[in-house]
Amino acid sequence: MEETKTTKLNKNGLFYISRLATIFSILMYVSYIPQIMNNVTGVKGNPLQPLCAALNSILWVSYGLLKQKKDWPVVIANLPGIVLGLVTFITAL
């Protein structure tokens, strides 16, 4: 069964969207670094949001790893959220 041109375009588009989403997920969690630096220097932030982000990331990484066919973009996109979310939470206390 031959793929149509539209099906190929949709698959290629989905591939690029998934890669872009992975990059932006990582950037979202890397953006916690300035808050961590502020927390360490005494300007404490709200710990609730980074805790929720860390828990959300733990669930998504678990989902990606537990699927029969591992979902590596989901895992890679959310790993920084576990580490940086927890560090931000801990330093905000």
Dihedral angle sign, alpha carbons of residues 73, 77, 78, 83:
positive
Domain ranges of the chain: 5-92
In this prediction the pTM is 0.83
pLDDT, tens only, 29-60? 999 999 999 999 999 999 999 999 999 999 99
CB 36 within 8 A of CB 89: no
Which of the 8 DSSP states describes residue 31? T
CATH of region 5-92, choose from 1.10.3470, 1.10.260, 1.20.1510, 1.20.1280: 1.20.1280
